[in-house]
Amino acid sequence: MDLNYSAEEAAFREEVRGWLSAQLPQDLKDKVANYAHLSKDDLLRWHRILAKKGWVAPAWPNEWGGTGWNVVQRYIFEEELGYAGAPPLVPFGLAMCAPVLLRFGTEAQKRRFLPRIYQGEDFWCQGYSEPGSGSDLASLKTKAQRVENHYLVNGQKIWTTLAHYADWIFCLVRTDPAAERRQEGISFLLVDMKTPGITVRPLILMDGAHEVYEVFFDDVKVPAENLVHEEGKGWTVAKYLLGYERMNTGRIGESKRQLVALKNFAASLKDDARFRDRLSRLEIELMALEITNLRFLDRMRRTGQPPGADVSMLKIKGTEIQQGLAELMLQALDPAASDPFADRVRKRYLSMRKTTIYAGSNEIQRNIIAKMTLGL
């Protein structure tokens, strides 16, 4: 196992860092640094800057716009994006739907959707969780009935991030309610959000924001050509997709930037032994997370295979570190502060409570590790 960066990889990091320093718009950087709201236009502006450079989808094959970078270079790029304070690249199209299409999609589906995802012409969201079917996703009830050359979709999805921005949603739906196992009879559909019968309703969170939504389907007509992979084999697609989603939830570069910001912001607490102890523990945990991530990268580099069930470790520890940093930032804040930044720090703390729930709750991730990796 080799966890060291080569001279070429170190030079690549400097190239990426230099380009980001010159090309990341200052207004977007300031918004990220100050926890300000990022609009759809903000997100897509940064997406299109990277697309113009040819860096928006590094993991894609070259023929579809990928960079040809190896897994270590891709990790370095993601880390530098987070450390520079770039707006997030919304993953639902680039890092979730696209890998599924590249692995399971037809040539017609790839030609139709991949260029538009790359250029930021279509904004995607994810239709997985339902009321009563979140961590236990295999119990989903949204139905899709095949009628000639289309499906009729009826049901509800919940906690759908940025659904109000989305042009398309990829959904898990039940196409065979009589299947013996719950994981069977589930299919993966691509649905145009402008289709009649779709209703999007906001869910107001603790921080007062509404980045997640309920999506209702009432006799929504979806062309059969929008089925990805085989009918009834959607669980295979879902597992493949979730491996990529959980690999990207560690956010090591972003946490490194937050750690630096926290140290600067909390300089007056440097003599508080308890605060210093918690801060030191988080820094050590972040270092350990980075080393663990490098182990996964080394294995992917050697085998060429996507991450396995043990990638859940990154999701668990990464999101716990993110929460810990938000907690310490709130602790360092003057309780009497009433300026806009203080208000955003408080809202961010509330918003970060959800990180250990999305992409499969951390409790479920521990069960996955126990069953699939440890054999318990």
Q: What is the pLDDT of residues 62-101, one digit of tens each?
A: 999 999 998 889 889 999 999 999 999 999 999 999 999 9
d(CA 373, CA 319): 20
Q: What pLDDT shows up at residue 53?
A: 98
Residue among 245, 283, 320, 363 flagged as catalytic: 245
- Based on DSSP, count helices (H) and strands (E) in the chain, helices before strands: 13, 8
The pLDDT value recorded for residue 3 is: 64
Say if residues 259 and 85 touch (Cβ distance below 8 Å). Answer: no
Which pLDDT belongs to residue 357? Answer: 87
- What is the number of other CB atoms lying within 10 angstroms of the CB of residue 196? 8
Which is nearest to 189 in space by CA: 147, 232, 134?
Answer: 232
Q: Residue 17: helix, strand or coil by DSSP?
A: helix
- pLDDT band at residue 312, thresholds of 50, 70 and 90? confident
b/e 116-146 (16+ beta carbons within 10 angstroms → b):
ebbebebbbbbbbbbeebbeebeebebbbee
**How would residue 243 be classed by pLDDT, with cut points 50, 70 and 90?**
low
Mean pLDDT (the chain, rounded): 92
pLDDT of residue 245: 58
For 124, the token pair is 């995607």
Q: How confident is the model at residue 307 (pLDDT cuts 50, 70, 90)?
A: low
Whether the per-residue pLDDT at 231 is higher than 90: the answer is: yes
H-helix or E-strand spanning residue 341: helix 340-351
74: nearest Cα among 56, 86, 101 = 56
Contact call for residues 88 and 238 (beta carbons, < 8 A) = no
Residue-wise pLDDT tens digits, 151-193: 999 999 999 999 999 999 999 999 999 888 889 999 999 999 9
- Taking only the tens place, the pLDDT of each residue in 112-159 is 999 999 999 999 999 999 998 887 888 999 999 999 999 999 999 999
- How many Cα atoms within 13 Å fall on the side-chain side of residue 165? 23
pLDDT bin (cut points 50, 70, 90) of residue 306 is low
Domain segments of the chain as ranges: 7-89, 124-233, 249-373
* Rounded mean pLDDT, 339-350: 94
For domain 249-373, the CATH architecture is: Up-down Bundle (1.20)
Q: Annotated catalytic, 245? A: yes
Domain spanning 124-233, CATH architecture = Beta Barrel (2.40)
Q: With bands split at pLDDT 50, 70 and 90, how would you rate the model's confidence at 321?
A: very high
